[in-house]
Amino acid sequence: MKNSKNARNLASQADPLEPRHLDLSKAVRGKYYDRMQAGTNIVLIAPDLLDTFPDSESVNEALRGLKKIAARSVRPAPRPRRTASAAN
């Protein structure tokens, strides 16, 4: 009987996506609240981009450059055309 329990445990450890019971009896409410309020953001980078962006500074530098380019390329909204009936 003990062997079947061990086999079940090994099977559940093999699949990290399988739902499992979480013991929240010792959880602390708001433990990471201050850290979250500090504005820390986590972004996952696709594996194929890791050679281009090896650290957070390279990502931030690229995004700042893109922001500058986007700000320069924004065109003002077109003014509404006056029609012949509106001119009279």
What are the residue ranges spanned by the domains of the chain? 46-74
pTM: 0.41
pLDDT interval class at 61 (50, 70, 90): very high
Averaged pLDDT, 20-44 = 82
pLDDT higher than 90, residue 77: no
pLDDT higher than 90, residue 66: yes
Q: How far is CA 19 from CA 38, 67, 81, in A?
A: 31, 41, 60
pLDDT interval class at 59 (50, 70, 90): very high
Q: Which residues contact 52 (CB under 8 A, 6 or more apart)?
A: 58
pLDDT of residue 63: 95
